[in-house]
Amino acid sequence: MKAIQVKQPGGPEVLELVDVPVPEPKANEAVVKLAASGVNFIDVYQREGRYKVPLPFVLGQEGAGVVTTVGSNVTSLKAGDRVAWTGLLGGYAEYAAVPADRLVAIPAGVTDQQAAAAMLQGMTAHYLCHDTYPLKRGETALVHAAAGGVGLLLVQMAHNIGARVLATVSTEEKAKLAREAGADEIILYTKSDFEAETRRLTNGQGVHVVYDSVGKTTFEKGLNVLRPRGMMVLFGGSSGAVPPFDLIALSQKGSLYVTRPTLVNYIASREELMSRSGAVFAMISSGKLKLRIAHTYPLAEAQRAHRDLEGRKTTGKLLLLP
């Protein structure tokens, strides 16, 4: 089978299309023939070596497809079942062996591409606004990179909860997408200072929560726009890692909270994985959550997908099609 392998850390050029054997399932695993694989910023961090992974490895943390074979201890799945997963390496390939308890069934109202597009980013948006900082109707949230993969889904979920959403974007095209997703106010950070704009839009009171996937270039100003006892939710670092800072600043700015969550801790149990994925799939099936699959690429063009993602050329979700 074909797979995208990383043999040494580096730029997109280290993504190598190789031939490897189709995996055999261990006793607790199922082998999935992939229909679509999600492309995410965590893939970039692993490719660069920012997140350490033993070399060589097949990249990709998210996929959807059809079960072909199951291990001897697997009773919950059978060949022909449509399934999806996230949080385990091996998605940039034609086949992947996945522990059965990490696979979720794809309901009839959701396509394979939708499932691959929603597992990581959809469940991330869900835990951010339902658990990390459980948004309430009438509260105000600032969402950075609001036209990105997680951003568009997070804006929709926050809007559906009834929160007021301030969205930062870089272009008018992205502003249009964020508005369509339900953002109440758009801040073009390329034309105006988001700190000053957020203060103006909240009459100086600040926001209840900042959802920040950008990191280095936005973090400090993000703290400045939180109201007392507000929460900074830093869930990514597309502009680079946040430098160390003195925690006393949190008390000086109003007894603020800072958290650095990751999806794996919000789907750690089988029960929570099923509940969260089920909630996201239900939103898709009912039309409450609209996915924007912006670009699809053949598996062999993984390098181009990474260049587009890192170059901020994309909005919504990128998929590889094996």
Section 55-83 average pLDDT:
97
Mark which of 213, 228, 260 sits at the end of a domain: 260
164 in Cβ contact with 138 (< 8 Å): yes
- Give the C-alpha separation, 178 to 216, whole Å: 22
pLDDT value at 313 more than 80? no
Section 145-171 average pLDDT:
96
pLDDT in tens, 166-214: 999 999 999 999 999 999 999 999 999 999 999 999 999 999 999 999 9
CB within 8 Å of 126: residues ≥ 6 apart: 157, 276, 279, 280
pLDDT at 243: 94
Section 16-25 average pLDDT:
98
| Backbone angles phi and psi of 273, in degrees to 5 | -60, -45
pLDDT value at 294 more than 90? no
CATH number of the domain that residue 220 is part of: 3.40.50.720
In a domain, 307, yes or no: yes
Confidence (pTM): 0.94
pLDDT at 244: 94
In a domain, 129, yes or no: no
Section 292-299 average pLDDT:
94
Say which residue the tokens 């997109």 belong to: 12
Do 141 and 78 belong together in one domain?
no
Confidence of residue 295 (pLDDT cuts 50, 70, 90): very high
Percent of the chain with pLDDT strictly greater than 90: 93
Domain boundaries, position 172: 137-260
Do 19 and 99 belong together in one domain?
yes
